[in-house]
Chains A and B, each alone.
Chain A
Amino acid sequence: MDDVELRVLVPKVLSVLVRRGADFATAEDAVQEAVLRALSAWEDDAPSDPEGWLITVSWRAFIDMARSDAARRDREVRFGSDPPTGVVPSVDDTLRLYFLCAHPDLTPSSAVALTLRAVGGLTTRQIAQAYIVPESTMAQRISRAKRTVGRAGLDRPGEVRTVMRVLYLVFNEGYSGDVDLAAEAIRLTRQLTTLAGVPEIDGLLALMLLHHARHRSRTRPDGAIVPLAEQDRSQWDTELIAAGVAILQAALAQDQLGEYQAQAAIAALHADAPRFEDTDWVQILKWYDELIRFADTPIIRLNRAVAVGEADGAPAGLAALADIDENIPRRDAVAAHLHERNGDLELAARLYASAAHNAPNLAERDHQTRQAARLNQLLRHQQ
């Protein structure tokens, strides 16, 4: 039994406790306690009924917590200490947990943390390591999130849109810490597709799979960025790509287009090209126009300008760039690329240097610095 198999049980066990009358916040702490015990106790000797074990241990932990809480407040505990039996949790409860943990009243970072613990079954320490904050800070963030959710009331349903947003944030955070957040986001999104038949969730899953498939080729072992044009496509995971494309096609067939399906379609077209030169930029551009209907953001317009540059030439790309706010991150990087392709190397070199200066992350800064250095060396040789 590996950690993932254990984590799959967490929302089910939590649902059982809540349905037995336990309050969500305490029950969630109790399940976390049981997970921590399972992680050490199951290493050599996994129980024959892991779910039953978790229910028993977390129910006892809940009773202990409720009793000490009651003692503090001088109240009676109305629960028996016998673990609940014969309860088969329905999938609906897990779905409800997704909504609860991505409640619209929560800030994005709180929703992410609560989702990873209560639905994902990760420990506080793992979540803290993934986001590089102290464990005590992450514990407080989760308790606070539960108080917010408790105040808002459990009966008010969340929105599938915020759930998807939270999962997208988890996926997009990258690959730090001892837990692969991208893989965890994929697992949670895949589980969500089985609970709710919404084409956009399928689109989100396809988007994740198609990006995850190219993950190995996106960076060098030292962390340096490898641009799409230079990636070793033999490293792309063709099985994941095929799975992503199949899920996307089934979603698109339902004719309820949304932003994740449109983004996944763009990713699928990139994944479909055997060589960079084979990329169908005209189709990609069409999908960017679709995407803008759902999410007209400067970042998407910036990426669209790249596609225009490839489909219709650098001057057209630069024209598409002209309307985009100069303060958008990576705008200088895109402008530099288009000016280089247009033959204006001096301006491109200056823009790469500016892109490096304004880069939002270290890998991007290093990449743009290399680009500027490459062009400046070329210019020196030309003199």
Chain B
Amino acid sequence: MAKYLLLKHYRGAPPAVNEVPMDQWTPDEVEAHMQFMRDFAVRLERTGEFVDGQALSPDGAWVRYDGEGRPPVTDGPFAETKDLIAGWMVIDVDRYERAIELVGELSAAPGAGGGPIHEWLEVRPFLAAPPTITE
């Protein structure tokens, strides 16, 4: 009964084993990858562990406050491919070990040549509600 964010991004992770940009894959390989992701989400819904999943557009901008009465400043995008956040999934599982197991399965999504990408995914626990009994 703990939620985890599975984050697919490329900030600081070592390269995946099967590291070929997706636009270099065959259409069938792309389709197989997407089907794998859909199936994964459906399977987690059936096990009662799925909370949310979203993919993000690569286009983004940096925004900051620029003082009273002035519109926010925007800048960028400067994101390079290596900095992109591609998407996330939120799961609700009984144990940390189960989260790790699922991330491992997700990392086996097929890529170029039909084999697993072995990509690095980040798993981060949610900050939960405080428990009732603490002493």
CA distance A136 to B52 in the complex (A): 11
Given contacts A108-B94, A137-B51, contact A228 B127 (CB under 8 A): no
Verify B94–A225 contact, CB threshold 8 A: no
Task: Known contacts A131-B1, A133-B92; decide if A228 and B48 are in contact (CB<8 Å).
Answer: no
Contacting pair B132 A215 (CB below 8 A): yes
Chain B residues lying within 8 Å of A215, measured Cβ to Cβ, are 132
Smallest distance from the beta carbon of A104 to chain B beta carbons, Å? 14
Given the contacts A270-B135, A303-B135, A108 and B1 also touching, CB distance less than 8 Å: yes
Interface residues of B in 110-130 (CB under 8 A from A): 125, 127-130
- Cα-based distance from A228 to B52 in the complex (angstroms): 37
Is the pair B47, A140 in contact by a Cβ cutoff of 8 Å?
Answer: yes
* Contact (Cβ within 8 A) A140 B45: yes
Q: How far is the CB of B85 from chain A (nearest CB, A)?
A: 22
Q: Assess whether B76 is interfacial by the CB under 8 Å rule.
A: no
Q: Closest chain B residue to A171 by CB distance?
A: B132
Residue of B nearest to A299 (CB): B134
B127: A residues at CB distance < 8 A: 359-362, 365
Given contacts A141-B48, A144-B48, contact A107 B94 (CB under 8 A): yes
Check if A110 sits within 8 Å of B48, measured CB to CB.
yes
Q: Which residue of A lies closest to B46 (CB)?
A: A140
Name the one of B93, B94, B129, B133 contacting A176, with C-beta atoms under 8 angstroms.
B129
Cβ-Cβ contact count across A and B, 8 Å cutoff: 86
Which residues of chain A are near B92, meaning CB under 8 Å? 109, 131, 133, 137
Q: Which residues of chain B have C-beta atoms less than 8 A from A364's C-beta?
A: 130
Chain A neighbourhood of B130, CB < 8 A: 174, 225, 361, 363-364
CA distance A172 to B48 in the complex (A): 21
Interface majority SS on A: helix, strand, loop or mixed? Answer: helix
Q: Does B50 contact A (CB under 8 A)?
A: yes
CA distance A215 to B131 in the complex (A): 11
Closest Cβ of chain A to B31, distance in Å, is 26
A173 B48 Cβ-Cβ under 8 A: no
B24 nearest CB across to chain A (Å)? 36
Cα–Cα, bound, A360→B49 (Å):
20
Interface size class of A (residues with CB under 8 A): 35 or more
A134→B45 CA distance, assembly (Å): 9
Please name all residues of chain B whose beta carbon is closer than 8 Å to the beta carbon of A109 when the two chains form the complex: 1, 48, 92-94
Smallest beta-carbon distance A115→chain B, Å? 13
State the CA gap A294–B45 with chains docked (Å). Answer: 38
Determine if A169 is an interface residue (Cβ-Cβ < 8 Å): yes
Kindly report which residue of chain B lies nearest to residue A288, judged by CB atoms. Answer: B135
* B 34-60 to A, binary, CB cutoff 8 A, 1 in contact else 0: 000000000001111111100000000
Q: Is A112 an interface residue (CB 8 A)?
A: yes
Report the separation of the CA atoms of residues A113 and B49 in the bound assembly, to the nearest whole angstrom. 12
**A 156-187 contacts with B by CB, 8 A:** 169, 171-176, 182
Q: Which residues of B contact A102 (CB under 8 A)?
A: none
- CB neighbours of B128 from chain A (8 A): 360-361
Query: Do A306 and B135 contact each other (CB < 8 Å), given the known contacts A136-B45, A137-B49, A137-B92?
Result: yes
Mask: chain A, 260-275; 1 = CB below 8 Å from B; 0 = not: 0001001100100000
Please give me the residue from chain B that is nearest to A145 by CB atom: B48
* Chain B residues positioned under 8 Å from A361 (CB to CB): 127-131
Cβ–Cβ < 8 Å partners of A362 in chain B: 127
CB distance from A244 to the nearest CB of B (A): 13
A138 surroundings in chain B (CB, below 8 A): 48
- Would B1 and A140 count as touching, CB distance under 8 A? no
Contacts of A174 in B (CB 8 A): 129-132
B48 CB contact (under 8 Å) in A137, A211, A212, A303: A137
Q: List 12 A-B contacts (CB under 8 A).
A: A109-B94, A133-B50, A134-B52, A137-B51, A140-B47, A141-B47, A142-B48, A171-B132, A174-B132, A270-B135, A360-B128, A365-B127
Contact surface of B with A, Cβ cutoff 8 Å: 1, 3, 45-52, 92-94, 125, 127-133, 135
Chain A positions near chain B (C-beta within 8 angstroms): 107-110, 112-113, 131-134, 136-138, 140-142, 144, 169, 171-176, 182, 207, 211-212, 215, 225, 228, 263, 266-267, 270, 303, 306, 359-365
9 nearest interchain CB pairs?
A141-B48, A174-B129, A140-B48, A362-B127, A109-B1, A107-B94, A363-B130, A361-B130, A172-B131
Query: Contacts A107-B94, A211-B132 given; 4 further ones with Cβ under 8 A?
Result: A131-B92, A142-B48, A171-B133, A364-B130
